[in-house]
Amino acid sequence: MNGPALLRRNAGRLETRAGKAFVGTRAVFRGQDLHQDLRDADWVDLYLLSITGRRFDAPALRLFHAMWVCTSYPDARLWNNRVAALAGSARSTPALGLSAALGMSEAVVYGGHPCVRAIDFLIGAQRRAASGEPLASLVEQELAQRRIYGYGRPIHATDERLPWLLSLARDLGLAGGPHLALAHEVERLLVARDGRLKMNYAALTAALAADLGLSVAEFHHFQVPMLLAGMTPCYIEAAERPAGALFPLSCEHIAYEGVERRPWPGVQKR
């Protein structure tokens, strides 16, 4: 069904499993009463319920929390934080500035895109390896088509977030999953080719999330606000400074290699 028939079927109605607000009485969230059944839920618990329709136990929630905490860098030089800071410097609103910064976080080389590509590869490779395909062959096939996201880092080969997050995962008993084991084996194969291709944050969090049962789409949603806590201080600090004073560039700092200075047609010289 499509076209006018599809529109008529959906006109004046909303079919949903997400929930419903009964204004003045209650709100239903994924089949549960928001104010009664979920009143003790913390925000990550609620957010994961909104994404997956499932509740996670305390160790899993603590690990999910840690994935966000350990990458909250309040450094305005970082590509997405810079957008938030510039918004503050330009006197935009927090919502507009942080929304723009979150949009920038889905960068292709770093940020959200590598996280999604990493979990997609790890889930597919784990499924195929479990059916008997050699992992080395899977890695070769992937590299023949594209890079394997989650390995290598543009600034420094070592990712300082990994030891802390891995230690916590071990303490919580959540470091023994098949996707994490496979991620480490992929790292071994890649480092043998190029010593700079160590596992980074994208592959580690993707492997841990896959072992906790998240799908590619679910992990994509989960990682959206992952960098948010580092953006807000950058916005606030820039907004406290004089407007336009963040990262100003003089004309001398611009390497212009275009057309030489020339007169505009129809403009009289003075």
Would you write out the chain's pLDDT as a tens digit for each of its 270 residues?
788 988 888 898 888 899 999 999 999 999 999 999 999 999 999 999 999 999 999 999 999 999 999 999 999 999 999 999 999 999 999 999 999 999 999 888 777 899 999 999 999 999 999 999 999 999 999 999 999 999 998 788 899 999 999 999 999 999 999 999 999 999 999 999 999 999 999 999 999 999 999 999 999 999 999 999 999 999 999 999 999 999 988 888 889 888 888 888 876 665
Terminal Cα distance for the chain, rounded: 69
DSSP states of 119-173 as a string? HHHHHHHHHHHHTT--HHHHHHHHHHHS--TTB--SS-SS-TTHHHHHHHHHHTT
- pTM of the full predicted structure? 0.88
Domains of the chain in start order, with CATH, are: 18-55 (no CATH), 112-223 (1.10.230.10)
Q: CA-CA distance, 226 to 64, in Å (whole number)?
A: 10
